[in-house]
């Protein structure tokens, strides 16, 4: 789900639950690899389901409590004594992190050392996760950001910039107008890197408003995430960007956790184990929504690739992890995959997982994107679950510029952000009820298929189905007769007029007036039947202006700022 030149990727109490360490594998006699080592039981553990606060945050426990989900033995951390036994084995094995849900540990060691570990009485089995060892590079501390220039906090439809249509298509504009912008919701983004995310002006509110809750790098260890692939930055921007007049994402007021789990330089099951570790971390800190634009089908030799028959949600490590994440009350949103026009054709892991929201891609008109992977799962379940704009989706690059990209990678976070806002608006729902509410009111709810799933969801439609006695207004300002203009504040590029219905189908006269009432620009525009039309005014001095648009005896005005 990144460009075709890459393979597509589309707490200390938490420390005891997830030991994510920045370590360098020790020198050994043989080739050092990473292995998933499973334990036989959790007998003798010092942890108890009666005292979950020892390994789960208060926010994590509150999320479970709201949904009636009990803390179970599966949530208990690996017995620390078992981890100590591995570390005591000769050959200097390194325990990189542990998994509560799988009762396992990711261990870096050579084959001789692995043989000694397998001889331990509490070890049941192991699988090799990669075929090469890498030494982590140096880490860079997050950069302190400068104060941004003042911005108008009231984001209107004319202020979304190129992200307008992808928001509009799923009702996110109305969601924001109703006051649901992700406030108080926590979203974890699993990806391959977030370069520039600490510098991009549209993402500065994350830092200035202290809504960047944490960062974790499960590939290299530690917390440095502002490097590697820009794919994560692109995906994050579709949700988190909040620069009215330039770009506004679907969840511009949510709190985020950024997790690197994907290594774009190779493809091995270790990345699925990283996904598992990140999901357990997200659970432990109280994340509400996981957005994952990653997928697994083929691995680099000699790792064994999956077949379509494996896509049951019960085989792949990442799929099993996603199912567990759903069972503890997180809303897992996963990209379907970009194999629709390739030999594989079908969805990938973890998109095949049960009880998650798998997202396919459509264009701005709601048509299936040619690359978007198809269902069903190998065991016959409908996939994708829902679809959102993934063809010519507006995203932001590490240099802060906006461009359009293709991939279910982008449809996934676009919809994840809306789902977070929908859950904010309906806080008594469980994660599974959120999926049902969006699915049952989507465009293909009556006739779901394995191309678009249940279709394209809409915040207003789903919200009104739950609140029939207090529905939201579904009439847009343009439909109600208001004139719009964006980006606002305006820069050096062209503007877009949002033309109300009363002015369509007629030649338009445009005048721009400064604060003194003097006309500084005039244009004649041909008749249009569309809601939007480009407006090129030429250079304007910095200041505030009024744009008048008239046809016959009808006049509409809108104020804008030129920067």
- Which distant-in-sequence residues (6+ apart) come within 8 Å of 65 by Cβ? none
How many helices (H) and strands (E) would you count in the chain?
14, 22
- Which distant-in-sequence residues (6+ apart) come within 8 Å of 267 by Cβ? 7, 296, 298, 299, 300, 303
Crossing angle (nearest 10°) for helices 408-425 and 231-240: 30
**Which stretches within 426-531 are classed as H helix?**
431-440, 459-466, 477-480
Would you call 222 exposed, middle or buried from its count of C-beta atoms within 10 A (0-12, 13-18, 19+)? Answer: middle
Distance of CA 312 to the CA centre of its chain: 23
Whether residue 409 lies in the annotated active site: yes
For residue 434, is it left (φ>0), alpha (ψ between -120 and 50) or beta? Answer: alpha
Of 86, 74, 95, 77, residue with least CA distance to 121: 86
Q: Which residue has the tokens 């069972």?
A: 327
Whether residue 231 lies in the annotated active site: yes
- Look at strands 104-109 and 33-39 and give their pairing: antiparallel
Whether residue 191 lies in the annotated active site: yes
Describe the strand order of the beta sheet including 331-335 as a list of residue ranges. 212-217, 255-260, 186-191, 289-292, 331-335, 357-362, 386-389
**Which stretches within 445-546 are classed as H helix?**
459-466, 477-480
- Which distant-in-sequence residues (6+ apart) come within 8 Å of 256 by Cβ? 186, 187, 188, 189, 206, 211, 212, 213, 236, 239, 240
Distance (Å, whole) CA 59 – CA 46: 22
Q: Which one of 75, 177, 191, 283 is the catalytic residue? A: 191
Q: Which one of 110, 176, 220, 231 is the catalytic residue? A: 231
DSSP per-residue string spanning 205-219: HHHHTT-EEEEEETT
Are the beta carbons of 19 and 97 closer than 8 angstroms? yes
Distance (Å, whole) CA 424 – CA 512: 40
Q: Which one of 10, 291, 373, 409 is the catalytic residue? A: 409
Distance (Å, whole) CA 144 – CA 88: 41
Are the beta carbons of 192 and 229 closer than 8 angstroms? yes
46: tokens are: 């010092």
Cis peptide before 538 (omega within 30 of 0): no
Q: What SS3 state is found at 109?
A: strand
Distance (Å, whole) CA 319 – CA 349: 6
Angle at CA 112, nearest 5°, toward 109 and 114?
50
* Cβ count within 10 A of residue 342: 12
Residues 540-558: b if buried by 16+ CB within 10 A, e if exposed: beeeebebbbebeeeebeb
Residues annotated as part of the active site: 191, 231, 409
């Amino acid at each position: 789900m990144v460009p075709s030149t890459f393979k597509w990727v589309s707490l200390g109490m938490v420390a005891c639950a997830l030991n994510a360490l920045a370590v360098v594998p020790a020198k050994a006699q043989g080739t050092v690899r990473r292995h998933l080592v499973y334990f036989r039981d959790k007998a003798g553990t010092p942890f108890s389901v009666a005292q979950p606060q020892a390994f789960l945050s208060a926010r994590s426990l509150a999320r479970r409590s709201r949904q009636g989900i009990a803390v179970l033995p599966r949530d208990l951390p690996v017995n620390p004594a078992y981890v100590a036994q591995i570390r005591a084995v000769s050959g200097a094995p390194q325990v990189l992190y542990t998994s509560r849900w799988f009762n396992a540990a990711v261990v870096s060691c050579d084959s001789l050392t692995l043989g000694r570990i397998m001889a331990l009485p509490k070890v049941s089995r192991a699988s090799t996760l990669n075929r090469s060892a890498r030494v982590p590079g140096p880490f860079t501390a997050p950069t302190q950001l400068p104060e941004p220039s003042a911005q108008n906090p009231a984001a209107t439809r004319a202020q979304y910039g190129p992200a307008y249509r992808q928001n509009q298509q799923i009702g996110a504009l109305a969601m924001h107008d109703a006051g649901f912008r992700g406030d108080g919701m926590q979203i974890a983004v699993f990806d391959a890197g977030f370069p520039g995310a600490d510098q991009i002006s549209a993402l500065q509110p994350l830092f200035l408003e202290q809504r960047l809750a944490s960062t974790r790098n499960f590939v290299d260890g530690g917390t440095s995430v502002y490097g590697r692939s820009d794919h994560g930055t692109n995906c994050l921007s579709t949700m988190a960007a909040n620069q009215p007049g330039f770009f506004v994402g679907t969840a511009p007021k949510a709190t985020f956790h950024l997790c690197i789990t994907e290594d774009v330089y190779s493809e091995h099951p270790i990345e699925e184990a990283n996904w598992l570790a990140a999901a357990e971390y997200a659970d432990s800190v109280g994340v509400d929504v996981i957005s994952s634009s990653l997928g697994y089908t083929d691995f680099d030799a000699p790792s064994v690739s999956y077949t379509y028959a494996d896509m049951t949600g019960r085989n792949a490590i990442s799929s099993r992890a996603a199912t567990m994440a759903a069972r503890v009350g997180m809303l897992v949103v996963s990209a379907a995959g970009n194999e629709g026009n390739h030999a594989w054709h079908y969805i990938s892991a973890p998109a095949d997982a049960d009880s998650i929201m798998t997202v396919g891609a459509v264009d701005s008109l709601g048509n299936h994107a040619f690359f978007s992977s198809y269902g069903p799962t190998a065991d016959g379940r409908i996939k994708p679950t829902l679809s959102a704009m993934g063809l010519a989706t507006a995203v932001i690059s590490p240099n802060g510029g906006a461009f359009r990209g293709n991939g279910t990678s982008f449809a996934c976070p676009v919809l994840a952000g809306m789902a977070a806002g929908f859950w904010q608006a309906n806080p008594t729902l469980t994660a599974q009820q959120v999926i049902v509410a969006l699915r049952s009111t989507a465009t293909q709810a009556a006739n779901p298929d394995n191309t678009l799933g249940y279709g394209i969801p809409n915040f207003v439609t789903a919200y009104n189905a739950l609140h029939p006695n207090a529905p939201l207004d579904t009439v847009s300002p343009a439909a109600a007769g208001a004139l719009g203009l964006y980006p606002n504040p305006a820069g050096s590029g062209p503007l877009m007029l949002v033309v109300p219905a009363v002015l369509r189908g007629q030649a338009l006269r445009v005048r721009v007036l400064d604060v003194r009432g003097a006309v500084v620009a005039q244009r004649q525009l041909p008749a249009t039947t569309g809601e939007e039309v480009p407006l090129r005014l030429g250079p304007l001095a910095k200041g505030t202006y009024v744009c008048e648009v008239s046809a016959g005896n009808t006049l509409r005005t809108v104020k804008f700022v030129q920067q």
